Amino acid sequence: MNPPLNLGTLLTDSITNTLDVSLPLFRPELCLAATIVLLLVCRMLPVLRHADSAVVALGGVGFGLWYAWCDLKSLPAGGDLLAGRQELFTGLLVYDSLTAYVRLVILGFLALYIVFTRVSGIPDREDGADFYALVLGASLGMCLMSAANHILMLFMAVEMASVPSYALAGLLKGRKASSEAALKYAVYGAGAAGIMLYGLSLMAGILGTCHLPSMAVELAKVAHVGSDGGGVMVLSLGGLMLAVGLAFKLSAVPFHFWCPDVFEGAAAEVGAFLSVASKAAAVALLLRVAFGLGVPAASLGVPAANGASAATLAALGDTRHFMVYVVALMAAVTCTLGNLAAYGQTNMKRLLAYSTVAHAGYLMMGVAAAIAMAGVTATGTRDAVTAVAFYLGTYVFMNLGAFAIVAVLRNSLRSEEISAYAGLVRTSPGIVVAMAAVLVSLIGLPPLAGFVSKFLVFSSLVEAIASGAERPLMLVLLVVGGLNTVISLFYYLRVLKVMTFDPPPADRALEPFPLVSVPGAVVTGLVLPVVGFGLFWSGLYAAAQLAGAFAS
């Protein structure tokens, strides 16, 4: 069937494909890349040396955001969803509604983040260009993670997102804790990456391809034909090793050890970046891998010439079953351990690090429900992915808000210990109210955004139970999720208790933090959506539904 190989036509084909199809849909990433170059060039040219790098970065991100927004807008809403799917760069990347949505979340977060760091002042003028170049570089990697369609690309993207993060963790150059955090992060990351690379090479070796949809087809063949036990065994091992790499990015238990140390050592601003953007990209990548390998490509619009059909969907049942178990167990453990370990923390950033771990667990529950329902009920799958996407959208504001408050309080209190916040309500009630909104949203109480997110995730678990997909496991997940929400009440509310009821320390000579100020405005701007999305969530939900469409 293949046309005769002709270098000339091959070249022209690939050039036209690159220029006409791939590059236009790659514009947001191109914007980021160009901005990085611009930042570095500014540094070298004497004329532009004094340009504010935050402004340059914000400009570049603004362009990227605009393109990402246009891309999301131009997706067919509710119509032919598969028409929007495009494989880019000869199948290395895939562009679909999930890519568009996650990219928008990451870039949107980035824009807010740049404004917030500019105000909180953690990269000083000297470091600004480096800091933003690193942040943009990592974000570029995260965008690629959300679009990876090829395991080589997957690995590249993960590394591209990770390496700048290591450097970011060590941003506070003078501080020992910061350097230590960077070192731990780098070594831990290298270990995880090594294991993941090993797993990937095992899988590629057995299946003979690196293209995710093609791998699914091969997997189906293996499952269908039933090879000798060795093949399946090796494949399972490879899959588990891949899971280790993803778990590292998600900071899922038991690969979360880096997380509290890095968060405590690095600046709060860096913590915010790692806990939000990195998490969003990792969840997107998890969805990519799970659906790439577990759901036959035919249903995702890859030409039927690949030999995929509805029959393979059934053939991949075991694969999905395996994945659901791994993801669900990890989710349950991550959630529980994250919440329990947050007890008794005295450092706010460390507490938030464990909170991040716990939230990764909730997110993975949604992913587990989505995979479980694939092949059972299409709308259920879609709802579950929608719930996860919605969760990501609100999580941006909750967590960025929490870290922003930590950062501005650090600037005025010179401390990040919870005990230092005692009695703050007497001098700065505004910031305490903001903190309360954020923390209560993280618990997931109405009427805040966190409630809606959690509600959607749990309701997709219920949907899975109702549709009979992996019923006992989903039931366990639901119970674990509910219990964890109760557990988490305690440590979040303890912070509020300290802020409101405890007497302020005698030696505090603190200017009351005014909410009417530039940092106050930033905090307010981040916290308002937490309330807003709790009350008016239909807009974000519609966008998340678009993202969910990728799975239907």
Residue 201 lies near another protein (rule: CB under 8 A):
no
Residue 347 lies near another protein (rule: CB under 8 A):
no
Residue 149 vs 336, nearer CB to another protein: 336
Q: Which amino acid is at 331?
A: A
- Buried (b) or exposed (e) across 481-501, using 16+ Cβ within 10 A? beebbebbbebbebbbebbbe
Residue 482 lies near another protein (rule: CB under 8 A):
no
Q: Which two tokens stand for residue 167?
A: 């450097």
Q: Which two tokens stand for residue 331?
A: 């989710």
Helix (H, G, I), strand (E, B) or coil at 94: strand
What is the Cα Rg of the chain in Å? 23
Of 29-37, 60-68, 184-192, 370-378, which segment contacts another protein by CB under 8 A?
184-192
Residue 262 lies near another protein (rule: CB under 8 A):
no
Tell me which H or E stretch contains 244.
helix 229-250
Please identify which residue in the block is written with the tokens 């899988």.
203
- One residue of 124, 228, 507, 511 binding another protein per CB under 8 A: 228
Residue 536 lies near another protein (rule: CB under 8 A):
no
Q: Are 225 and 314 in contact (CB under 8 A)?
A: no
150 secondary structure, DSSP code? B
Q: Which amino acid is at 20?
A: D
- Closest distance between another protein and the C-beta of residue 93, in Å? 29
Site for another protein in 29-58 (CB under 8 A): none
Closest CA to 524 of 534, 514, 539, 538: 514
Residue 369 lies near another protein (rule: CB under 8 A):
no
Residue 113 lies near another protein (rule: CB under 8 A):
no
Residue ranges of the alpha helices (H) in 175-211?
Answer: 176-207
Residue 492 lies near another protein (rule: CB under 8 A):
no
- Closest distance between another protein and the C-beta of residue 411, in Å? 27
Of 75-83, 101-109, 336-344, 541-549, which segment contacts another protein by CB under 8 A?
336-344
- One residue of 8, 344, 472, 503 binding another protein per CB under 8 A: 344
- Closest distance between another protein and the C-beta of residue 423, in Å? 24
Q: Which two tokens stand for residue 457?
A: 């995730």
Residue 189 vs 380, nearer CB to another protein: 189
Helix axes 378-413, 518-535, angle to 10 degrees: 160
Residue 371 vs 540, nearer CB to another protein: 371
Residue 218 lies near another protein (rule: CB under 8 A):
no
Alpha-carbon distance 469 to 58, whole Å? 45
- Closest distance between another protein and the C-beta of residue 275, in Å? 17
| Backbone dihedral angles phi then psi of residue 523, each to the nearest 5 degrees | -60, -45
Q: Which amino acid is at 47?
A: V
Residue 342 lies near another protein (rule: CB under 8 A):
yes
Size of residue set near another protein by CB under 8 A: 38
Residue 21 vs 240, nearer CB to another protein: 240
Of 27-35, 127-135, 250-258, 376-384, which segment contacts another protein by CB under 8 A?
250-258
Residue 83 lies near another protein (rule: CB under 8 A):
no
- One residue of 30, 197, 314, 340 binding another protein per CB under 8 A: 340
- Closest distance between another protein and the C-beta of residue 222, in Å? 10
Residue 75 vs 252, nearer CB to another protein: 252
Alpha-carbon distance 390 to 537, whole Å? 9
- One residue of 77, 204, 376, 487 binding another protein per CB under 8 A: 487
Alpha-carbon distance 291 to 216, whole Å? 9
Residue 343 vs 536, nearer CB to another protein: 343
Residue 197 lies near another protein (rule: CB under 8 A):
no
Residue 411 lies near another protein (rule: CB under 8 A):
no
Binding mask 282-321 for another protein (x = CB under 8 A): ------------------------------------x---
Helix (H, G, I), strand (E, B) or coil at 347: strand
Residue 188 lies near another protein (rule: CB under 8 A):
yes
Alpha-carbon distance 227 to 506, whole Å? 72
Q: Which two tokens stand for residue 33?
A: 């890349």
Residue 236 lies near another protein (rule: CB under 8 A):
yes
Q: Which two tokens stand for residue 27?
A: 């514009």
Query: Who's near 466: CB < 8 A, 6+ residues apart?
Result: none
Q: Are 463 and 382 in contact (CB under 8 A)?
A: no
Q: Are 351 and 439 in contact (CB under 8 A)?
A: no
Tally the C-alpha atoms within 13 A of residue 130's C-alpha that lie toward its C-beta.
14
Q: Which two tokens stand for residue 121?
A: 């002042």
Residue 481 vs 529, nearer CB to another protein: 481
Residue 187 lies near another protein (rule: CB under 8 A):
yes
Q: Residue 374 region, left (φ>0) first, then alpha (ψ -120 to 50), else beta?
A: beta
- Closest distance between another protein and the C-beta of residue 98, in Å? 26
Residue 240 lies near another protein (rule: CB under 8 A):
yes
Closest CA to 99 of 149, 24, 172, 46: 149
Residue 326 lies near another protein (rule: CB under 8 A):
yes
**What are the residues binding another protein (CB under 8 A)?**
183-184, 187-188, 191-192, 195, 226-229, 232-233, 236-237, 240-241, 243-244, 254-255, 257-258, 260-261, 318, 322, 325-326, 329, 337, 340-345, 487
